[in-house]
Amino acid sequence: MPDGLELAGHVVRLATAGGADAAEVTYTEADRFSTEARDREIAKLERSTARTLTLRAFARGAKATLATSDFSPGGLAALVAETVDAARFVGDDPHGGLPDAFAAGVDAAALRIFADDVRARADEAKIEDALALERLARECDPRIVNSGGSRVADTTVSLALANSRGFAGEYRQSQASLGSNPIAHDGAKLRTASYGTAARAYASLEPVPSVAAVAARRAVEMIGARKPATARCPVIFERDVAAQVLGDIFAAINAANVAVGNSFLAERIGARVGSDLATIVDDGRLPGGLGTSPFDAEGVATQRTVVMERGTLRTFLYDTYYARRLGARSTGNASGGGIGPSNLYLSAGTRTLEEMVAATPRGVLVLETIGFSTESVTGTYSRGARGFAIEGGALAYPIDEFTIAGNLAEMLAAIDLVGSDLVFDQPIVAPSFRVAEMTVSGT
């Protein structure tokens, strides 16, 4: 195989010679491993290597994108011809085209996004970790009698990007993860749970015994769960669920949604939309972050962007196209043909989750949400949930089969406690936080 950056540059030259006014080529090579254990056996074992070259060509004001895994001279020539020809059938768009500025002096090593131990770790050791996760989770409690599987997975990716404006950059990244999904018997019911950890290196993951213990505890603690009474009360979102709420808010700060009016935050830049505790940041330069990279999918430098500052909306997240369309500047968030988060997070507070519960005389702690019902235009939010009833500042009893409902704008404004348990284990993360009042629909 040729060098990825050399190959990308070669195809750029083929594209411009073949009729493209401008061209961008991305080459990726991904090596993946995954295994899953169930009881005492390995139920799944996968390893793959994928190489893909994607050409984005602009011709006469139009754009077309095609990809190939055929790197033969004939295959590359066909890719160029088909992509340039496809652009003829696309309408003109004045906002299209390559970015005006690109990342300079790319130093991916300083970002700590690649770890040697991901590829160096023996497959046998990864398989043993999966079996150990499964065994240890079951040993935690005799009521755990089944499992949805315990998994270990990793990937390493090499990426090279070149375009006809002279940009050429490349980097490597890695990721490892492990998790377990035990099932506990509760009479005629089954209580399912999951817990996992992810990082750029195996050395940075939570220990296998810890992951197994947390997953098992989550299953067992739901035994005896019942519906709560319908009420208006404070709701605490545990950090995993809090990250899902932030994911819903990301849809509203995504400039692609803003441009078509599919966002409850459209036209609210500079307005107060959250409480003083609501500071949201997207940081594509966070060392070791799972969303970190030296440049985005267009070669634009990633950056730290304060999206919301103490409740005031400062900006949306943009790629080049929607920045031009909305009269803004790219925030370096181009991703896979759209706009994506880098390391999007709600800034941490000072309270532990236990302290937040103790500060809540009566309310609900949400540990898991089920289903999907968010309306982006209005911000309407509704989810099925599981968790704990809080009485007298303590966890009283497990609850399930209830719904939490509100409005994302009102929820942002009503955040009155933020936890200190922020962990950067996904591209979108959040600490636990409390919303002063929401509707809990149960009995």
**CATH number where 110 lies:** 3.30.2290.10
What pLDDT shows up at residue 325? 96
What SS3 string covers the chain? CCCHHHHHHHHHHHHHHCCCCEEEEEEEEEEEEEEEEECCEEEEEEEEEEEEEEEEEEECCEEEEEEECCCCHHHHHHHHHHHHHHHCCCCCCCCCCCCCCCCCCCCHHHHCCCCCHHHHCCHHHHHHHHHHHHHHHHHCCCCEEEEEEEEEEEEEEEEEEEECCCCEEEEEEEEEEEEEEEEEEECCEEEECCEEEEECCHHHCCCHHHHHHHHHHHHHCCCCCECCCCEEEEEEECHHHHHHHHHHHHHHHEHHHHHCCCCCCCCCCCCECCCCCCCEEEECCCCCCCCCCCECCCCCECCEEEEEECCEECCCECCHHHHHHCCCCCCCCEECCEECCCCEEECCCCECHHHHHHCCCEEEEEEEEECCCEECCCCEEEEEEEEEEEECCEEEEEEEEEEEEEEHHHHHHCEEEEECCCCCCCCEECCCEEEEEEEEECC
CA 233 to chain centre: 29
**Mean of pLDDT over the chain:** 96
Taking only the tens place, the pLDDT of each residue in 230-255 is 999 999 999 999 999 999 999 999 99
Asked whether residue 311 falls in the same domain as residue 252, the answer is: yes
Taking only Cα atoms into account, the Rg of the chain, rounded to an integer number of angstroms, comes to 24
Comparison of pLDDT for 375 and 185, the residue scoring more? 185
Asked whether residue 163 falls in the same domain as residue 238, the answer is: no
Picking from 158, 190, 220, the residue at the C-terminal end of a domain is: 220
Residue-range definition of the domain harbouring residue 438: 225-443
Residue 441 has pLDDT above 90, yes or no: yes
What pLDDT shows up at residue 106? 78
Asked whether residue 24 falls in the same domain as residue 171, the answer is: yes
Write down how long the chain is.
Answer: 443
Burial 371-407 (b: 16+ CB within 10 A, else e): eeebebeebebbbbbbbbbbeeeeeeebbbebbbebb
- Number of independent structural domains in the chain: 2
Picking from 199, 220, 241, the residue at the C-terminal end of a domain is: 220
Asked whether residue 238 falls in the same domain as residue 369, the answer is: yes
Taking only the tens place, the pLDDT of each residue in 361-401 is 999 999 999 987 788 899 999 999 999 999 999 999 999 99
Asked whether residue 24 falls in the same domain as residue 134, the answer is: yes
Picking from 220, 240, 256, the residue at the C-terminal end of a domain is: 220
Asked whether residue 26 falls in the same domain as residue 163, the answer is: yes
| Beta-bridge partners for 185 | 190
CA 109, CA 42: separation in Å to the nearest integer? 35
Q: How confident is the model at residue 211 (pLDDT cuts 50, 70, 90)?
A: very high
Asked whether residue 172 falls in the same domain as residue 258, the answer is: no
Taking only the tens place, the pLDDT of each residue in 138-169 is 999 999 999 999 999 999 999 999 999 999 99
Asked whether residue 284 falls in the same domain as residue 212, the answer is: no
Asked whether residue 168 falls in the same domain as residue 285, the answer is: no
Asked whether residue 204 falls in the same domain as residue 326, the answer is: no
What pLDDT shows up at residue 378? 92
Residue 336 has pLDDT above 90, yes or no: no
CA proximity to 176, closest of 134, 119, 240, 111: 119
- Judge if pTM exceeds 0.85: yes
CA proximity to 152, closest of 289, 239, 44: 44
Structure tokens at 14: 């083929």
Asked whether residue 140 falls in the same domain as residue 253, the answer is: no
What pLDDT shows up at residue 376? 87
Asked whether residue 243 falls in the same domain as residue 355, the answer is: yes
